[in-house]
Structure 1
Amino acid sequence: MVTSLFMRWASQLQIQTQRPAYLRIADFIAEGISTGELPSRYRLPPLRELAETLGLNYTTVTRGYAEARRRGLIDSRPGLGSFIRSKASASATLPATSYEMTMNAPVEPASAVIEEALRNGAINLFAQADMLSMLRYQDFGGSAEDKAAAMTWMGRKLRIKNESEVLVCPGIHSALVGIMTLLKRKSGIVCVSSLVYPGIKAIASHLGVKLRAVIHDDMGPDPLALEGLCRTGEITALYINPTLHNPTTLTIPETRRRELAEVCRRYNISVIEDDAYAALSDLPIPTFAELIPELTWYITGMSKCFGPGLRIAFLKGPDRQATQLLSSVLRALTVMSSPLTNALARQWINDGTAERVLNAIKQEAKVRQEMASTYLAGYTYRADPGGYHLWLSLPKLVNSNSSDVAAKLRERGISAVSAVAFCTDNKPVEALRLCLGGAQTRQQCEESLKILAEMLEDPIHFSGMAI
């Protein structure tokens, strides 16, 4: 039976907005749960019935239900239908995600124009491409066309003349596994900052590669401390995340980069330059791959500044021989990157869609950073206007450690990670990395920031937690 609730949805859909209809369906369901109009275990109308009521096509309503499932609002059972989850409540309307909330995901621009551009690019690709060729084995590292697109994307920060030094890989993480596998053969130690991307810690642990923390200050790793470690003769490489550092948001200034590069040149130390967030920054700062190209593995990609589902990385090696050696290692580990993913990335880069998406993400990130500056006024934190994460120092009034606070915040739908996850020197600070991209919409982000500010203001929210 068609109820007044669904008729109201149909009327609301007549109001023009840039937000896609399938997302609005999920929003309507969340709102209905919040108001009590959709109680637990309520059976939603069948897809075709609701499509007819709302004046939408079947596919759009199907995507709407899928989005509601992704947010944790409904359950669906073949042959039985879709039901409001029994544990759904007002809190369920907060952004439930299909990825672990500890992941630093980019903000999603709420623009029907952007989504349409993505769709059109994909349609154009598959309408024109030889589909069978994309289902065959490919040479590792991407085709000449893939590498050309990679060089275009990397061209924001690094000019590359020789495509033989370039590899297209199935994600930055995979590329790091390959490089660390090569370094293991040298049996040396990899220097890292005292706060570092947790993925590199996991890779090193898995491969048995030793990490050594180098102290850092407000400009990045300390050059004198790095040189002191290099003098021991045990250091093989320096891993560095120089732009919008995860977790501290720091972009290492040019003077510090040159000082670190000089130390590495003096002691013949390889540099693993993980520039995952490079495209989000407009600062004209030279990369390590420009300062010491003969020693640097430069890696960037599209997942951290486009979307985590686009698992593709672009890599430049120190020289052709080193790049070919890494290609052999990665071929053994991953066989090849997906030709379908490569083709999509190439299409979006070449037709300008990737640039439009990137600009929209940066604009949305700036709006959310401004929100954060309002709600976190009075608290100590670091942020970059082009980024989508914050590094928040916990106030002394919060008499709990950062791990417990992070867990408590995640219960409330706030993407928070304790400093412990990033620590490499066993001296964790009491701080959190907060992701503004965990919330799908600007409204959800603002609600999360309100909750965060309220909890920080009144430490009773953290009472009873381990100290």
Structure 2
Amino acid sequence: MQDEIVPIWLPRLAARAGPRFLQIADALQAAVAQGSLKPGDRLPPQRQLAAQLDIDLTTVTRAYDEARRRHLLEGRGARGTYVAAPKVELTAVLDLSMNTPPPPDGVDFDDLLKQGLSQVLMSADSGLLMTYHLGGGSDCDRQAGAKWLAPMFGPLDSQQVLVCPGAQAAIAALILALTEPGDVILAEPTSYPGLRAAATQFGRRVIAVEADRNGMLPQMLEQACREHQPGLVYLNPTLQNPTAITMAQRRRKELAGIAQRCNTRIVEDDPYWLLAEAPPPPIATFAPERVYYISTLSKCLTPGLRVAFVLIRDPQERERFLVALRSFALMVAPLTAALATQWIFDGSADALMAGVRKEARLRHRMARDLLAGRYSGAGDGLHVWLELPGYWNCAQLARAADAAGIAVTPAEAFATGSGSVNAIRISLGSIKDRARLRAGLQRLSHLLAQRPESLDAAVV
């Protein structure tokens, strides 16, 4: 006897309620949650559902694919498509450790990706997309970079903008191009771990310069410059990773002035500027000849693009940078660069970034509510810096959180000197589902309220 098809359900499709395939998938998910569709029920064939809804078959196919991605459906070959049994997750780790942009609500990323790639393939020579590019990006890619940087700097000469495969590659290439083995790089006591990793690999020394709640202290930077004669100073002045501090304009001007007086150079790593609420101008606007500015798409759009733009004013230093970059990364994948360029020029990048910004701020409000009394974020960006109560130390809490199925990053991971503050970084974008993020923050809040001794007593 053949399986009977369940009576067809007909979701209401609204013209302004988002893509129709998502409306169908959402209706299917609701039907499963309400029990009107049960595990093992056989769904109608796609053509039949398309005819009933008077929509095209492709839309229903995409809806079924999306429902499979959500583990709602399973295919059984020629027998058809069935409602899947609930998936039991035995290792449901809630990852609050990775700084990635949150998925924006109402933005169909799959459609955005398909449309962007389709436009690229229609307008570009496929041969050029599959060969070497040695010049720091095509003219078109550099123009896209200048457009991306325009909110920070206004109109730019696109020849001063170089395209490279991510901010980490840019930092490494600047270290190679502008310093020698054994040189000192100055940074804040709590700073981006990728700097230390690159410096260590290349035989450079990172020395911490004292900072306050507004960033690196000018008088301490000047003293360190005179004492160590650094090859570079590394700063991340907007929504700093990990402290989430945004340096005030006055402090930026003071640090730029010191770089000029002490004849030193600053790497301004600024991945979050476009996510911040009314940030001050970059340090590079106050000392353009002394500052190398990096802006990546990974934190504003998606890490998968692996595209960053580097603003270098001097032509000889641009060439030195490219020589260094080619020694380990050669180039951005041309197809990826072309997609980033397409999105920047057709407005997709702005739309996606607006969605990321809106979602990030919503998640900050959630964190503020759930971590009452402990939240110290800036209200935007991708992360929260949480200083811990005295009865916890950061490494101990990270281990306890891991045992509770939550991944966080302890302050020691960001330390450039011998000491570190007692805090953890909580990333708000790495959990796609908002409800799961809420669950993770609630679990973490509960853990913070307990003392380690009470957890030790619960051993079984």
Q: Displacement of 1:360 after TM fit? A: 1.0
Hey, what does 1:406 align to over in structure 2? Answer: 398
> 1: CA distance between counterparts of 2:342 and 2:26?
30
1:2-81 residue pairs with structure 2 within 5 A? 11=9, 18=18, 57-58=60-61, 60-62=63-65, 64-66=67-69
Alignment counterpart, residue 358 of structure 1, candidates 353, 361, 366: 353
Hey, what does 2:55 align to over in structure 1? Answer: none
* Per-residue deviation, residues 235-285 of structure 1 (Å, max 9, x unmatched): 121000011100011111011111111111111111000011111124252
The change in CA–CA distance for 1:43 and 1:175 in structure 2 (over 3 A counts) is farther
Q: Displacement of 1:446 after TM fit? A: 2.0
Amino acid at match of 2:384: L
Hey, what does 1:133 align to over in structure 2? Answer: 128
> 2: CA distance between counterparts of 1:199 and 1:31?
46
Amino acid at match of 2:427: C
Alignment counterpart, residue 432 of structure 1, candidates 424, 442, 449: 424
Alignment counterpart, residue 456 of structure 1, candidates 423, 442, 448: 448
Alignment counterpart, residue 386 of structure 2, candidates 388, 392, 398: 392
Residue 88 of structure 1 pairs with residue 82 of structure 2: no
Hey, what does 2:56 align to over in structure 1? Answer: none
Contact 2:29 2:67 in 1 (8 A): no
Hey, what does 2:325 align to over in structure 1? Answer: 330
The change in CA–CA distance for 1:30 and 1:263 in structure 2 (over 3 A counts) is farther
Residue 241 of structure 1 pairs with residue 233 of structure 2: no
Q: Helix, strand or coil: the match of 2:206?
A: strand
Q: Helix, strand or coil: the match of 2:328?
A: helix
> 2: CA distance between counterparts of 1:183 and 1:341?
28
Residue 423 of structure 1 pairs with residue 415 of structure 2: yes
> 2: CA distance between counterparts of 1:431 and 1:125?
44
* Per-residue deviation, residues 318-371 of structure 1 (Å, max 9, x unmatched): 411101111111122212111111111111111111111111111111111111
Q: Helix, strand or coil: the match of 1:297?
A: strand
Q: Helix, strand or coil: the match of 2:234?
A: strand
Residue 227 of structure 1 pairs with residue 222 of structure 2: yes
Amino acid at match of 1:448: G
> 2: CA distance between counterparts of 1:12 and 1:192?
60
Hey, what does 1:382 align to over in structure 2? Answer: 376
Q: Helix, strand or coil: the match of 2:298?
A: coil
Q: Displacement of 1:18 after TM fit? A: 4.1
Q: Helix, strand or coil: the match of 2:332?
A: coil
Hey, what does 1:307 align to over in structure 2? Answer: 302
Q: Displacement of 1:304 after TM fit? A: 0.4
The change in CA–CA distance for 1:62 and 1:404 in structure 2 (over 3 A counts) is farther
Number of residue pairs matched by the alignment: 442
Q: Displacement of 1:115 after TM fit? A: 5.2
Q: Displacement of 1:458 after TM fit? A: 3.3
Q: Which runs of 5+ in 2 are unaligned?
A: 51-58
> 2: CA distance between counterparts of 1:12 and 1:22?
14
* Per-residue deviation, residues 279-301 of structure 1 (Å, max 9, x unmatched): 11242522121111111111001
Q: Helix, strand or coil: the match of 1:155?
A: helix
Hey, what does 1:316 align to over in structure 2? Answer: 311
> 1: CA distance between counterparts of 2:31 and 2:364?
26
The change in CA–CA distance for 1:95 and 1:52 in structure 2 (over 3 A counts) is farther
Q: Which runs of 5+ in 1 are unaligned?
A: none
Q: Percent identity?
A: 29
Q: Displacement of 1:15 after TM fit? A: 6.8
Q: Helix, strand or coil: the match of 2:304?
A: coil
Hey, what does 1:110 align to over in structure 2? Answer: 105
Q: Helix, strand or coil: the match of 1:185?
A: coil
Q: Helix, strand or coil: the match of 2:293?
A: strand
Contact 1:193 1:215 in 2 (8 A): yes
Hey, what does 2:247 align to over in structure 1? Answer: 252
Q: Displacement of 1:384 after TM fit? A: 1.9
Contact 2:305 2:337 in 1 (8 A): no
Residue 444 of structure 1 pairs with residue 444 of structure 2: no
The change in CA–CA distance for 1:259 and 1:24 in structure 2 (over 3 A counts) is farther
> 1: CA distance between counterparts of 2:30 and 2:419?
42
The change in CA–CA distance for 1:299 and 1:112 in structure 2 (over 3 A counts) is closer
Q: Helix, strand or coil: the match of 2:327?
A: helix
The change in CA–CA distance for 1:339 and 1:462 in structure 2 (over 3 A counts) is farther
CA radius of gyration, larger in: 2
Alignment counterpart, residue 370 of structure 1, candidates 365, 376, 382: 365
The change in CA–CA distance for 1:449 and 1:326 in structure 2 (over 3 A counts) is same
TM-score, normalization by structure 1 = 0.82
Contact 2:107 2:352 in 1 (8 A): no
Contact 1:18 1:110 in 2 (8 A): no
> 1: CA distance between counterparts of 2:219 and 2:113?
47
Contact 1:389 1:436 in 2 (8 A): yes
**Backbone CA RMSD of aligned residues:** 3.7
Q: Point out the more displaced range, 326-335 or 307-316.
A: 326-335
> 1: CA distance between counterparts of 2:130 and 2:308?
20
Q: Helix, strand or coil: the match of 2:268?
A: strand
